[in-house]
């Protein structure tokens, strides 16, 4: 058996309105080459200036990953040639990146594995993205809209050991940056991209020869690519061969990695300090704005929801998938508590509504979970329904109907219930009328039950089925509004001949 080492380099597009060193619009999907200017195209004599919002967002991620923000941080030019980069150098950070030496705790289940691990973060650095090359058979097209877009690179130490751990790391990082509101985390559009580095070695021998896998545009491919690579390298070593240090690409059609280029030594980028940008020394006011941007992160929040509200691990994890949903949940519980429900009871009911009925409606209406704040049945409305249902004022079925009607009419469901007369009938005299009606119509059933009650000759199952049938008839006779508990006990009394 070999020991394996995985380190990730994750690039995220920061959600700044403009690019990192010029005023061009930063957006995905615009008409190609419309968001460009002499600065991001690197014309001679132009001067970049730092987008402070990019620095702030980058520092927020750094802090969320427990990194230190140095007293002085600056930029370097990383020099290489590629057609997607007209300047022939990329402004990046090298000697003193904005975030240094942190860690992220990953925790959860992935497939059959339970994972709990601390991954050290080497650094977070701010840089500009390059343009996009689109290869179309014989020619390649260039779109420079992406050139100069704020990019934050997060580099981990090689602390992960399996594809599953790396996948979980990416998923949790994605949630984290979305919670912070600094990145949309869309891997298909390339706003979160990962390169994975992996080596294996005999236990105790330390790091092996590393292979870098590029082109991983989903967290699943990160897992598949790494596990493929660990197996491939293991076979090489088993056969007495050496692993070549190289860059490989994940081929998603063939489910394998393929060689892209060999990288004997680290490339010499001839980094040197960017002469056109001053050293950035974060002042107390800037640092305060960074701290103010921080929010409770998904993992601790899920833990808190378990402890405070008694949610199961799975429920807490699902609720915390999106910050907006966790916010909705907590607001709805608070509103239900205000209406007198005990917190645990309110939470248990609300989480079920949220993960079943509301999830279903959101899906049907094409509302993404992260936009749940724009859903017409807000937390207060859900709380009123839940409180009515818990207090025996409306049946579960009518509560669901009321939610649908409330959405159609954009009203408080409580009002809908009152207007339509959907409140549960709990007046025994009114229910007795319906029970009498059912009694006249279903005499043979009553007779069977009564005879059985006298000589005990009916199996419990059959007795339950018949009673439920009669309660159902009473409900039907009252438009689903009779309190089933009261109806049930009146039927029992009739059977016993009282």
Interaction site with ligand ADP (CB under 6 A) = 5, 7-9, 155-158, 197-199, 207-208, 210, 266
Phi-psi region of 54 (alpha: psi -120 to 50; beta: other; left: phi over 0): alpha
Say if CB 340 and CB 131 are below 8 A apart: no
Among 37, 334, 367, 432, binds Zn ion (CB under 5 A): 37
- Count of residues binding Zn ion (CB under 5 A)? 5
Minimum separation from the CB atom of position 198 to ligand ADP (A): 5
Q: How many CA atoms lie within 13 A of 257 on its CB side?
A: 30
Q: Which stretch binds Zn ion (CB under 5 A): 37-45, 117-125, 243-251, 279-287?
A: 37-45
Binding partner of residue 407 among Zn ion, ligand ADP, none, CB cut-off 5 to 8 Å per kind: none
Minimum separation from the CB atom of position 125 to Zn ion (A): 21
Cβ neighbour number for residue 134 with a 10 Å cutoff: 11
Nearest residue (CB) to Zn ion, 151 versus 316 = 151
Distance separating alpha carbons of residues 99 and 125, to the nearest angstrom:
7
Q: What DSSP string describes 133-150?
A: EEEETTEEEEEGGGTT-E
Give the CA-trace dihedral at 343, 347, 350, 352, to 10 degrees.
-150
Binding partner of residue 7 among ligand ADP, Zn ion, none, CB cut-off 5 to 8 Å per kind: ligand ADP
Minimum separation from the CB atom of position 90 to ligand ADP (A): 14
Nearest residue (CB) to ligand ADP, 199 versus 315 = 199
Mark residues 347-376: x for contact with Zn ion by CB under 5 A, - for none: ------------------------------
- Rounded to the nearest 5°, which phi and psi values hold at 298? -55, -45
Binding partner of residue 47 among Zn ion, ligand ADP, none, CB cut-off 5 to 8 Å per kind: none
Minimum separation from the CB atom of position 205 to ligand ADP (A): 11
**Which residue sits closest to ligand ADP, CB atoms considered?**
7
Binding partner of residue 157 among Zn ion, ligand ADP, none, CB cut-off 5 to 8 Å per kind: ligand ADP
Binding partner of residue 158 among Zn ion, ligand ADP, none, CB cut-off 5 to 8 Å per kind: ligand ADP
- Helix, strand and coil percent figures for the chain, each rounded to 5: 45, 20, 35
Distance separating alpha carbons of residues 152 and 173, to the nearest angstrom:
13
Nearest residue (CB) to ligand ADP, 123 versus 483 = 123
Minimum separation from the CB atom of position 278 to Zn ion (A): 20
Minimum separation from the CB atom of position 266 to ligand ADP (A): 5
Say if CB 19 and CB 37 are below 8 A apart: no
Nearest residue (CB) to Zn ion, 22 versus 382 = 22
Distance separating alpha carbons of residues 30 and 145, to the nearest angstrom:
8
Give burial (CB, 10 Å; 0-12/13-18/19+) of 237: middle
- Rounded to the nearest 5°, which phi and psi values hold at 151? -125, 130
Helix (H/G/I), strand (E/B), else coil: 411: coil
Nearest residue (CB) to ligand ADP, 200 versus 482 = 200
Structure tokens at 325: 């949903």
Minimum separation from the CB atom of position 148 to Zn ion (A): 5
Among 59, 50, 43, 45, smallest CA distance to 23 is for 50
Minimum separation from the CB atom of position 181 to ligand ADP (A): 26
Minimum separation from the CB atom of position 147 to Zn ion (A): 8
Nearest residue (CB) to Zn ion, 49 versus 140 = 49
Helix (H/G/I), strand (E/B), else coil: 471: helix
Minimum separation from the CB atom of position 136 to ligand ADP (A): 30
Binding partner of residue 197 among Zn ion, ligand ADP, none, CB cut-off 5 to 8 Å per kind: ligand ADP
Binding partner of residue 93 among ligand ADP, Zn ion, none, CB cut-off 5 to 8 Å per kind: none
Helix (H/G/I), strand (E/B), else coil: 386: helix
Q: Which stretch binds Zn ion (CB under 5 A): 18-26, 223-231, 278-286, 366-374?
A: 18-26
Q: How many CA atoms lie within 13 A of 73 on its CB side?
A: 23
Nearest residue (CB) to ligand ADP, 56 versus 210 = 210
Residue 22 sits in the site that holds Zn ion (CB under 5 A): yes
Distance separating alpha carbons of residues 481 and 14, to the nearest angstrom:
53
Binding partner of residue 8 among Zn ion, ligand ADP, none, CB cut-off 5 to 8 Å per kind: ligand ADP
Nearest residue (CB) to ligand ADP, 195 versus 483 = 195
Q: How many helices (H) and strands (E) does the chain have?
A: 17, 13
Distance separating alpha carbons of residues 103 and 67, to the nearest angstrom:
7
Nearest residue (CB) to Zn ion, 43 versus 82 = 43
Residue 147 sits in the site that holds Zn ion (CB under 5 A): no
Instruction: Please list every residue from 38 through 97 that binds Zn ion, using CB under 5 A.
Output: 39-40
Helix (H/G/I), strand (E/B), else coil: 288: helix
Nearest residue (CB) to ligand ADP, 213 versus 477 = 213
Compute the chain's Rg from CA coordinates: 31
Binding site for Zn ion (CB under 5 A): 22, 24, 37, 39-40
């Amino acid at each position: 058996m070999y020991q394996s080492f995985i380190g990730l380099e994750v690039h995220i597009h920061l959600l700044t309105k403009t690019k990192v060193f010029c005023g061009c619009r930063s957006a995905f999907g615009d008409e190609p080459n419309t968001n460009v200017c002499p600065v991001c195209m690197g014309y001679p004599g132009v001067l970049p200036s730092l987008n402070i919002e990019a620095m702030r967002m980058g520092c927020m991620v750094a802090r969320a990953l427990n990194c230190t923000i140095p007293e002085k941080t600056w930029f370097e030019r990383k020099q290489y040639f590629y057609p997607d980069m007209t300047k022939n150098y990329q402004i990046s950070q090298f000697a003193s990146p904005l975030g240094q030496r942190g860690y992220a705790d990953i925790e959860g289940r992935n497939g059959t594995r339970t994972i709990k691990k601390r991954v050290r973060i080497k650094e977070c650095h701010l840089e500009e993205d390059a343009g996009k090359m689109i290869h179309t058979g014989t020619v390649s097209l260039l779109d420079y809209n992406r050139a100069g877009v704020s990019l934050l690179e997060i580099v981990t130490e090689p602390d992960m050991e399996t594809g599953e751990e790396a996948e979980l790391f990416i998923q949790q990082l994605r949630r984290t940056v979305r919670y912070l509101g600094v990145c949309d985390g869309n891997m298909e559009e390339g706003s979160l991209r990962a390169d994975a580095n992996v080596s294996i070695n005999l236990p105790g021998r330390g790091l092996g020869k590393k292979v870098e896998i590029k082109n991983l545009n989903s967290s699943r491919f990160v897992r598949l690519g790494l596990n493929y690579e660990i197996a491939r390298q293991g076979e090489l070593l088993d056969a007495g061969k050496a692993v070549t240090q190289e860059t490989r690409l994940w081929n998603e059609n063939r489910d394998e990695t393929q060689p892209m280029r060999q990288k004997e030594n680290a490339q010499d980028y001839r980094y040197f300090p960017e002469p056109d940008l001053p050293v950035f020394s974060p002042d107390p006011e800037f640092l305060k704005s960074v701290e103010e941007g921080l929010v409770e992160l998904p993992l601790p929040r899920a833990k808190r929801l378990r402890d405070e509200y008694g949610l199961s691990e799975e429920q807490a994890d699902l609720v915390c998938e999106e910050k907006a949903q966790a916010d909705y949940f907590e607001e709805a519980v608070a509103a239900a508590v205000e209406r007198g429900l005990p917190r645990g009871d309110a939470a248990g009911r609300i989480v079920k509504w949220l993960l079943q009925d509301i999830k279903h409606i959101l899906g049907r209406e094409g509302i993404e979970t992260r936009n749940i704040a724009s859903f017409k049945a807000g937390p207060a409305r859900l709380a009123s329904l839940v409180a009515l249902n818990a207090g025996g004022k409306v049946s579960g079925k009518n509560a669901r109907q009321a939610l649908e009607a409330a959405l159609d009419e954009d009203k408080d469901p409580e009002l809908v219930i009152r207007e339509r007369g959907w409140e549960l009938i709990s007046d025994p005299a009114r229910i007795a009328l319906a029970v009498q009606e059912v009694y006249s119509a279903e005499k043979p059933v009553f007779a069977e039950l009564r005879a059985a009650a006298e000589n005990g000759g009916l199996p419990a199952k059959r007795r339950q089925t018949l009673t439920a049938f009669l309660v159902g008839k009473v409900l039907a006779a009252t438009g689903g509004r009779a309190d089933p508990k009261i109806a049930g006990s009146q039927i029992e009394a009739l059977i016993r001949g009282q």
